[in-house]
Structures are given as C-alpha cells and as structure tokens.
Amino acid sequence: MPVSKRILESISLSGKVAVVSGAASGLGFGIASKLAEAGAAVAILDVNAETGNEAAASIEDTSGSKAIFIKCDVTSNASCKETVEAIIAAFGHIDILCNNAGVARRKNVVELEEKDWDIALNVTLKGVYMLSHHIVPYMIANGGGAIVNTGSGWSLRGGENAVSYCAAKGGVLNLTRAMCLDHGKDNIRVNTICPGDVDTPMLRSECEQLGGAYDEKFREECAQRPIARLGTPEDIGNAVLFLVSDMAAWVSGAHLVVDGGGIAG
C-alpha cells in the first residue's frame, strides 16, 4: 500500500530552516544531509571552511534543498551572533537547531591539561548554550521550533580516559532538560540524541589519541553490541529527523539512545 499523505506530511520539513553545528563532516554532515533530504533549507556551521563549503555543495547536489556554509566558532559570542544574523538575513527564520559541535580529549583527570579541558567543555557544552542563546529568541518570535543537542552514551554513564568529554556530554543532557522546562511555553521542543560509536573522523581521532590504529580490528571491537556493527552518520540523521519532525510533536526533554543496543548491557 502507498504511504498515506498524512504520514508523509508529518515527517516532511518542507519550508523549514535548520541550523547544524559541526556539520562539515561526520555526525553533523549526516544530520544536515538527512534534514535536507526531508525538505529543510540547511545552514552548515563549522570552523573548517574548505570542508564546510564542500559539504554544503554536496548537500545541495544530492537533496535539491538549499544549503549554505557559514564559518562559526561556537565558543565565541561574537561569532555566534554574527552567524545567526547571517542565517536570518539569508532565510528569514530558524525552525530547527541541532547543536552537534564537539571535541573529544581522551585522557584521565591526572593526564588532562587545562587547555584540553577548556576546549572540550567550551566547544561541546558552551557551544550549545551560545548558539541557543542567539537562536531561541528568533524561534520564540516565529512561534516555536525544535532543538536537538548531541549528547552521547557517556551522557548517561562514565567512560575510561574521557573525563572532559563525559563531563561535557553529561552537561549537555541536563542542559537539554532545563531548556525544555524553560521553553515549552514558547512551543519549543528540546531533546538530546545520544549516539554510540559511529564511523566518523572523531572516532578515528579518539582511537589514535589512545595509541591505537583505526583498522578493521578496532572497528570490530567497537561493533561488539547487540546490533553488531558500528553506527553510521545516517543512523543518527534518521533519529534526529524524527525528533525535529511533527512525528515527535509531544516529545521534549527526552534523550534518545542510538547505539545498536550497546548501553543496554
């Protein structure tokens, strides 16, 4: 049987404008691509201009939706303010915000240097606050919106040699809950996506920081979970699409674990 028009409309993002941070590659690119496939115009934010421009061009080519790249330092108030103003100038409104930018530093509390703590917390946690600070007022003026913050399985439990990452991702989860309480009255839904190991440049970086080789053996070890494979950026993009669509119209303050069942054990 054909899919009903009502179902198609509930997952469509046609006419929506989405902002995705850390979207030049990895999870962010997967999220931005999926939202564009669903019909949203997408603003891709990242500090990597070359890769970001390539990502925007690729999304436009494959989805047919409008995609622009804006270089943005999510730790900077001035950069976030200018970025949001540029998005409003380009599209007129913002309906969806995906706070995805993050930095992983794989060290314990003794080995971790202050500068690495600062960059991990500033990008991964402060960045969520900073973009939300500038975008939420536009959402309120526009009658509402949907925000998805990228957490982690380590938002919910600790991990070895990852103190700054665990602290930041734990903060993202509770920040999400607080934002949900504050802005439900504004018709703004706020949720957390909690990915497991996904085959991305960040996972490669974590492997190399721990002295390993990002080879088939490492990937097989990461895939030891009930659904026995690594995640893909598309897996996470699909889950985010659900959370920002009308299919999740009564979902807010929640965290959705997308990890092949890994955290269940």
DSSP β-bridge partners for residue 46:
71
Mean pLDDT, the chain, whole residue set: 95
Does 165 participate in catalysis according to the annotation? yes
**Can you tell me which residue has the tokens 């970025």?**
83
Query: How confident is the model over 67-103, as pLDDT tens digits?
Result: 999 999 999 999 999 999 999 999 999 999 999 999 9
CA distance 84 to 74: 11
pLDDT score recorded for residue 149: 98
Q: Which residue reads 């959402």 in tokens?
A: 139
**Domains detected in the chain:** 14-198+234-257 (3.40.50.720)
Does this model's pTM top 0.85? My answer is yes
Per-residue model confidence as pLDDT tens digits over 8-30: 999 999 999 999 999 999 999 99
- In angstroms, rounded to a whole number, what is the distance separating the alpha carbons of residues 20 and 70? 10
pLDDT at 156 over 80: yes
Is residue 207 pLDDT above 80, yes or no? no
Count of C-beta atoms within a 10 Å radius of residue 53 = 16
Distance CA(211)–CA(22), nearest Å, equals 25
Please give, one letter per residue, the 3-state secondary structure of the chain.
Answer: CCCCHHHHHHHCCCCCEEEEECCCCHHHHHHHHHHHHCCCEEEEEECCHHHHHHHHHHHHHHHCCCEEEEECCCCCHHHHHHHHHHHHHHHCCCCEEEECCCCCCCCCCCCCCHHHHHHHHHHHHHHHHHHHHHHHHHHHHCCCEEEEEECCHHHCCCCCCCHHHHHHHHHHHHHHHHHHHHHHHHCEEEEEEEECCECCHHHHHHHHHCCCCCCHHHHHHHCCCCCCCCECHHHHHHHHHHHHCHHHCCCCCCEEEECCCHHHC
Angstrom distance (rounded) from CA 19 to CA 7: 24
Q: What is the pLDDT of residues 93-143, one digit of tens each?
A: 999 999 999 999 999 999 999 999 999 999 999 999 999 999 999 999 999
Per-residue model confidence (pLDDT) at position 260: 94
* C-alpha gyration radius of the chain: 18
Residue 211 has pLDDT above 90, yes or no: no
Q: What is the distance between the alpha carbons of residues 209 and 197, in angstroms, rounded to a whole number?
A: 15
Cα separation, 213 vs 81, in Å, equals: 40
